[in-house]
Structure formats: C-alpha cells, structure tokens
Amino acid sequence: METVLITGGTGFIGRNLIPLLQKDNYKIVVVSRTPSKYQDDFFFKHVELVERISDVKHADVVINLAGANLAAKRWSDQYKQEIVNSRLDTTRHLLSWIESTEKKPHTLISGSAIGYYGARGNETLDEGSTSGSASDFQVRLCSQWEDAAYQAEAFGVRVCCIRTGVVLGDEGALQQMLLPFKLGLGGKLGSGNQYFSWIHIQDHVRAVKHLIDNDSLTGAFNLTAPNPVTNETLTKTLGKVLSRPTFMTVPGFALKLAVGEMAHILLTGQRVIPKKLQESGFKFEYAELEQALTHILK
C-alpha cells in the first residue's frame, strides 16, 4: 500500500480527491494547521491527520494543494503577501522534508493555476504557451510556485504542476455565483466576450489520479475542460439550467470597484485548453458546460 501525503487536503479539492484515492487503497496523510478541528469529522475517519510535514516519516506520492483562497478577500498588499507565503512556504517545507527523507517520494503533484498565462483575451493557450507579463500578480505567483516545486527534481522526484482553471462543484466559485442567478439577477460581466476556463470537480480529481498513475508524465498540465466558453455563454447556460432570466450586465467599472485588482482577469479572460492531458489519453466525463452544470445543480 502506497502512502499519499496531501497538503491542503481539508479544502474543496482535497475532500473530493481523498475518496478517489482511498478506492485504490492508498493510505492518506493530510497536513493541517489545525488537525484537531477534523479529528471528529467522519469524512477524515480513515485519514491520518498531522500538524507538520516533519511529522511524516515517508510518502510515495506528495500532492501539494495548500494555499490561501485568492477570492476570499480583496487583494491588498498584505493579503497578496499572505497568498504568496501560504504557497511558497509550504512548498519549501516540502522540499526540505523530501531532502531529509531516506526514501524519497517518487512523485510530487504541485498546485498552480491558469493565472500563469496572465489575462490574454481570446488567445488559445496550452502548456506550450509563454507565461504572462511579470507585472501581473497571478503570473508572478504561479511562476514562483512552479519554480519552487521543480526543485524536487534534483532529488529524483517526478514533478507535475497542475495549472487549474475555475473548479465547478458544490463549493467554490460556482456557489458564489448562484444567489444573484437564483434571484433572477444574473448577468454577464462587462462585454461578456472574455473566455472562462472551467473544469468539473470530478474531472479535476480524476486528472490528478491520472497523473499519479502514469509515471511517464511530467511538467505542467492544464486542468481545464476542453471547451472553455465566453462569460456570456456561461451566463446564459447557468440561467438555462436554473430556469432563470439573465438580462443583467455588471459594468466593468462596477466590478473593479467591487473586487479591485482581480477584476482585470475577470474582464479580460483566458482561453485555456488541456492539450497535454488529452494527448496523454485522459478522457473528460464533463467536457461541455451545460452537462457539468446540470450534474452539479440538478
């Protein structure tokens, strides 16, 4: 039985990934800043919870999902630093732990995001595309996060960096969108022409499992559905699934007032495709947005 060490395992993605790994009889160890908070949680009954990475003696696979939520607060300088530190500090602690272990893990799957590419409008982006402008906070964040993870290769560890799009499921971004749509106040952001790169939570965790299972796969992988849509299409599709009107428009200036710096990427968008994932033989269960939303919401 192989052991999987997960940082950030108590979050939205981790809670969906753990049952999938348990079906294949992996032993799961989750690093949490507050393990006592989850000890009475039935979900974690068969999971080992530890407070520090150094408490773990060995793992065959490491999955690094830790990081402060980008959308939890307005991006003040202080919160941006918290976002950076929460990712880089955890990754560096993992690297120190890997270096210290006698038997190294064979695989590190480390978080990243499609923010790596920056706000690029309707340009089609795959793993061969360049990173965005270094003046963009998300570009700098993802580049630094990936660079830190790849240092594990020096210890003979296979590294995959997962550039995640907007994950749709019963938590996260979709749930934040629902209230105005349910009230019949849903609408497009700005022009609505900007692309929205999404992925169903079940395809996301299946893709992570696919990377674990295929030891020839290395480098960056876009974890997005193969059919990104415009914001206008997202709006109309969500309205259709909920049987609600979507005649509203949120002007760009209003969005900037509401969320600050984050509005730039929301109004410009990213059209990202999972080229390497599909070339590796991965098959999406939810390739179309309406199919994905219908499954989640109905």
pLDDT digits (tens, 9 = 90+) for 9-28: 999 999 999 999 999 999 99
Residue 82's pLDDT is what? 93
pLDDT at 29 over 90: yes
Give the mean pLDDT of 152-180: 93
Residue 166's pLDDT is what? 94
What lies within 8 Å, CB to CB, of 52 at 6+ separation is 31
Token pair for 291? 């199919």
pLDDT at 194 over 80: yes
pLDDT at 216 over 80: yes
3-state secondary structure of 134: coil
What does pLDDT average to over the chain?
92
Largest CA distance in the chain: 60
Q: Domain 3-297 is in which class?
A: alpha beta
What lies within 8 Å, CB to CB, of 98 at 6+ separation is 62, 104, 105, 108, 152, 155, 157
Residue 204's pLDDT is what? 98
3-state secondary structure of 71: coil
Q: 43 or 147: which carries more pLDDT confidence?
A: 147
- Confidence class of residue 180 from pLDDT cuts 50, 70 and 90? confident
**Which one-letter amino acid corresponds to residue 219?**
G
Highest mean pLDDT among 82-86, 252-256, 281-285: 281-285
Percent of the chain with pLDDT over 70: 99
Token pair for 79? 């919160």
Residue 202's pLDDT is what? 98
Which pTM value belongs to this model? 0.95
Residue 186's pLDDT is what? 84
Residue 110's pLDDT is what? 98
pLDDT at 112 over 90: yes
- Residue-wise pLDDT tens digits, 227-273: 999 999 999 999 999 999 888 888 777 777 767 777 777 888 999 99
Q: What's the rounded Cα separation, in Å, for the pair 84 and 67? A: 8
- Confidence class of residue 102 from pLDDT cuts 50, 70 and 90? very high
CA dist 293 to 68, 153, 207, 243, Å? 26, 38, 19, 12
